[in-house]
Amino acid sequence: MVAGASLAALLSTATVAPGQRPVSGGSAARTGDTLRVLFIGNSYTYFNNLPALIRAFATSDRGGRPVATGMLAPGGMTLRGHLDGGKADSAVRANRWDVVVLQEQSALANPVRRGPSVEPGTPERFHAAVRSLDSLVRRSGARTTLYQTWARADQPHHTQTIASAYETIAADLGITLAPVGRAFAIARTERPDLALHVEDGSHPTAAGSYLAACVLYATLTGRPANGLPGRVTGRAIAHDGQVAQADTAVLVDLGDRDARFLQDVATRALRGEARQR
């Protein structure tokens, strides 16, 4: 994660899909037409403005529902940190969300001990935070989806550790899982020429965020990933977590071959192909 990034505000009005009314305040009514999704995570969520990609997919999908999003994603934040800071509670209560997407810090497979009893990266700590957040989400009337992250570029052997941590708690609590990490593993095996990580080996390239968005869109909506646009414009977010001043920028621009490949990988990951290998 990017240390010290400051995208700590809930961007509910800034991340509403074009043509829709902003989701603002606790008085916003839940509707059957618009799917309201809150993302709670860190830079793996804000890189390439992942929520904007999902909104664009919804806009292009003639058979789907409009999607409105909010995001709470300061760089480097763990789910426990979101809880301890109290902002997760406020964000969940800020609107009547339909779904809250939870994304853990990438050190899940690289535990860092900061004292005799604090291990921010352990699956146990992650599971405890998910239990607390899921309880909060359920009380609000929303449902939880887990955004499974991926192994770092030089540590592909950590895929199973990360995936298992997400899959275990999802099964235990009966909540939905978006297998983004499994999709990364398939794509990297079959197309090592297609970079999914930026130079730090951790954060996603535009192609990596596109793959994550394909998996999440299909998970959240039940709609197919195939046929989604390969070029998306929207509000850019800098790598330090700051929202760019320009209203629009090209967030992802993939050729047809790469877009179709990543859509197909997302579909296969959702079918559980990676776990069968």
The reply to whether 12 falls in a domain is: no
Q: Specify if 220 maps to a domain.
A: yes
Beta bridge partners of 71: 39
- Which DSSP letter does residue 215 get? H
With a CB cutoff of 8 Å and minimum separation 6, the contacts of 43 are 1, 2, 5, 73, 75, 76, 203, 239, 241
In a domain, 203, yes or no: yes
Domain range for residue 253? 35-276
Whether 1 is covered by a domain: the verdict is no
The answer for residues whose C-beta is within 8 angstroms of residue 27's C-beta and 6 or more apart is none
Q: How many domains does the chain have?
A: 1
Residue 117 lies in a domain: yes
pLDDT per position as a tens digit, 107-157: 887 665 555 544 556 889 999 999 999 999 999 999 999 999 999 999 999
Task: Please indicate, yes or no, if residue 17 is contained in any of the structural domains.
Answer: no
Give me the pLDDT at residue 108, please: 81
Q: Domain with 69 in it: what CATH number?
A: 3.40.50.1110
Which helix (H) or strand (E) segment is 270 a member of? helix 256-270
Which pair of tokens denotes residue 10? Answer: 């809930």
What is the share, in percent, of the chain residues with pLDDT greater than 90? 71
Q: Which residues pair with 138 in a beta bridge?
A: none
Quote the CA–CA distance of 50 and 11 in Å, as a whole number.
13
Single pTM value for the model: 0.86
185 lies in a domain? yes
What is the block-wise mean pLDDT of the chain (277 residues), using blocks of 10 residues? 38 34 31 87 96 97 93 94 93 95 87 52 90 98 98 94 96 98 98 97 97 98 96 86 70 97 98 66
Cβ atoms of 66 and 59 within 8 Å: the answer is yes
In a domain, 171, yes or no: yes
Q: What is the pLDDT of residue 17?
A: 31
Helix, coil or strand: residue 261 = helix
